[in-house]
Structure 1
Amino acid sequence: MRSVLYLLTALVVMGLAFWAYRENYRTQSAISEMSDIQRQIGRLREDLGVLRAEWAYLNRPERLRQLVNLNFDKLKLVPFGSDQFVDVGQVAFPAPKAPEPPPAAAGIPAERPAGYPPRRPQESTP
């Protein structure tokens, strides 16, 4: 009986050792993958900084003014003037549409949602 218990204990210990060995390699793999992703994020941030610097360089007002002057015949771009801006009150907005009458007013009985009490017949006044 003891030999069976010793054998089972040895098998359990060997199984746990195999599990710990496998988990150790999974953890190391995950740490390595995380390091690669962090390096990639760093490279992408550097690239983003370069792209922002290029964007700022290409959008300098002097350069854009020169491009507008060179391509005036094609684009016909002119600077904004203060006379091109108006107050919001001067903007013509479309008129709102008249609301449609409810179905009961049009002669069609309106359906009542579930849970509402039924309508009482209207009493006529003499």
Structure 2
Amino acid sequence: MRALVYMVSVLAVMGLAFWAYHENYRTKEALREVEQLRRDIARLSAELEVLNDEWAYLNRPERLRDLADINFDRLGLLPMSAEHFGRVDEVVFPVAPLGPIVNSVEVTGTISGVRP
């Protein structure tokens, strides 16, 4: 009986050792993947920072003003002023079309207490 307990214990230890061995390599692989992702994030963050700086450089107001002046003949761009904006009451909003009348109801009776 004691031999059976020893044999089961040895097999359990071997099974746990096998499981720990595989978990160790899976953990190392996951750590390598995390490190690669961190490097990718750092690289992409640096690229994004450069692109934001380039965008800010290209959108400088004096540069855009110079471009508008250079291309005035083709584009006809003018500086914006308050006269270029309209009032809200001048805006024509589209009217939503009414759908067909379904399940109409015949109404007869009084309106505001007045009888016909």
With the length of structure 2 as denominator, give the TM-score of the two structures.
0.79
Gaps of 5+ in 1: 107-126
User: Would you identify which runs of 4 or more consecutive aligned residues in structure 1 move more than 4 Å?
Assistant: none
**Residues 2, 98 of structure 1: alpha-carbon distance in 2 compared, 3 angstrom cutoff:** closer
In structure 1, what is the Cα distance between the partners aligned to 2:33 and 2:98? 63
Give the secondary-structure state (helix, strand or coil) at the position aligned to 1:103.
coil
Q: Which has the higher contact order (CA 8 A, sep 6+)?
A: 2
Other-structure match for 2:57 = 57
Counterparts of 1:28 and 1:95, CA distance in 2: 64
TM-score (norm: length of structure 1): 0.74
- In the alignment of these two chains, the number of paired residues is 106
Superposition deviation, residue 96 in structure 1: 4.5
Which residue does the alignment assign to 2:84?
Answer: 84
For 1:54 and 1:76, locate their aligned partners in 2 and report how far apart those are by CA, in whole Å.
26
Give the partner amino acid of 1:65: R
**Paired residue type of 2:37:** I
Q: Which runs of 5+ in 2 are unaligned?
A: 107-116
1:49 shift after superposition: 0.9
Partner residue, 2:46: 46
Tell which deviates more after alignment, 16-25 or 83-92: 83-92
**What amino acid is the match of 2:53?**
A
How is 1:7-26 mapped onto 2 (pairs within 5 angstroms)? 7-26=7-26
CA distance in 1, matches of 2:95, 2:23: 70
Supply the distance in 1 between the matched residues of 2:7 and 2:67 (Cα, whole angstroms): 86
Determine helix, strand or coil for the equivalent of 1:29. helix
Counterpart CA distance in 1 for 2:64 and 2:90 is 32
Aligned-pair distance for 1:54?
0.6
| Aligned-pair identity (%) | 48
